[in-house]
Amino acid sequence: MDEFKSISQMEVKSLKGLFFDIDDTFSTKGKITPEAYQAAWKLYRAGKILVPLTGRPAGWCDHIARMWPVHAVIGENGAFYCTMKKGRMQKYYTEETCREEKRIKKMATIKEEILREVPGAGVASDQSWREFDLAIDHGEDVTRLSRDKIERIVDIFKKHGANVRISSIHVNGWFGEYDKLTALRMYVKQELGMDLDNCNTEFAFIGDSPNDEPLFSYFKKSVGVANVRDYSPFLKTGPRYVTQQRNGMGFVELAEWILAVA
């Protein structure tokens, strides 16, 4: 992995917007600080397009799209995006086939195998509000699992042919050929009328962990909050730039840099 550059070296003058991960990028130790939330409001009021991309469930995304200062939210690692139009919620799915009965049954088998084979792992507390994926908790409401155990969970998902991503708190698995970038492309095309490939440099992305990897490698202006370094062993492609500060304060650092130069 290349050495990270400082965000002060990043060109932010022409930025139309910022796409961002939520857990441990926007949030800090499980909370959204006033500084981070205010930074989002400042960007929103400055006319920047703001879209969080998260592994969190559909239930959370309903709330986020309605109440946060954002233009849309991409949930369950790219299964869908939600956006408000004239005060009404609209939701667009990347792949309807994820609902197939045989996939649901297969996921139940995977869940049983993980819980049996990996002591200490648990189903994520937010699983009930998910539409598509299975989230295994590796450090949110369970005692943090070792790297070996996380890798064991990943292997079980893969063995059954599921896509799998590690976030800072969960290991998420799903059936379907999509990730956060797939849903983002769909959002940009349908809502902004642009091809993301033609406007890559007009947006920046900020994240912290391996489930952000498709975006780290895709965006020319990809940023990691400082804690992204904790995940170096799991990352094949890291962000191009990195903030000095960790978690939400890293988000604030980038927002202030964008607003200072804009």
**Contacting range for Mg ion; rule: CB under 5 A; set: 83-91, 150-158, 159-167, 179-187:** 159-167
Say whether residue 243 binds Mg ion (CB under 5 A). no
**Contacting range for Mg ion; rule: CB under 5 A; set: 61-69, 133-141, 142-150, 166-174:** 166-174
Say whether residue 209 binds Mg ion (CB under 5 A). yes
Which one of residues 4, 19, 24, 130 is an interface residue with Mg ion (CB under 5 A)?
24
Indicate the residue among 29 and 102 with the shorter CB distance to Mg ion: 29
Q: How far is the CB of 192 from Mg ion (least distance, A)?
A: 24
Say whether residue 179 binds Mg ion (CB under 5 A). no
Total residues at the site for Mg ion (CB under 5 A)?
7
Sequence-separated (6 or more) residues with CB below 8 Å from residue 68: 40, 52
**In angstroms, rounded to a whole number, what is the distance separating the alpha carbons of residues 109 and 35?**
43
**In angstroms, rounded to a whole number, what is the distance separating the alpha carbons of residues 49 and 184?**
12
Alpha-carbon distances, residue 46 vs 164, 193, 252, 255 (angstroms): 36, 21, 15, 11
**Contacting range for Mg ion; rule: CB under 5 A; set: 22-30, 145-153, 220-228, 251-259:** 22-30
Which one of residues 15, 18, 20, 23 is an interface residue with Mg ion (CB under 5 A)?
23
**Contacting range for Mg ion; rule: CB under 5 A; set: 33-41, 67-75, 136-144, 203-211:** 203-211
DSSP-assigned states of every residue in 100-138: -HHHHHHHHHHHHHHHHHSTT-EE-TTGGG-SS-EEEES
Burial 232-262 (b: 16+ CB within 10 A, else e): eeebebbbbbbbebbbbbbbbbbbebbeeee
| Contact string (CB under 5 A) for Mg ion, positions 113-152, x = contact | ----------------------------------------
**In angstroms, rounded to a whole number, what is the distance separating the alpha carbons of residues 156 and 164?**
10
Which one of residues 126, 208, 213, 253 is an interface residue with Mg ion (CB under 5 A)?
208
Q: How far is the CB of 23 from Mg ion (least distance, A)?
A: 4
Indicate the residue among 30 and 120 with the shorter CB distance to Mg ion: 30
> What angle, 0 to 180 degrees and rounded to 10, lies between the N-to-C axes of helices 147-159 and 101-117?
150
Q: How far is the CB of 22 from Mg ion (least distance, A)?
A: 7
Q: How far, rounded to the nearest angstrom, does the alpha carbon of residue 133 sit from its chain's CA centroid?
A: 14
In contact, 67 and 37? CB cutoff 8 Å: no
**In angstroms, rounded to a whole number, what is the distance separating the alpha carbons of residues 129 and 127?**
5
**Contacting range for Mg ion; rule: CB under 5 A; set: 78-86, 118-126, 180-188, 204-212:** 204-212
Indicate the residue among 77 and 182 with the shorter CB distance to Mg ion: 77
Say whether residue 168 binds Mg ion (CB under 5 A). yes
Residues that bind Mg ion (CB under 5 A): 21, 23-24, 167-168, 208-209
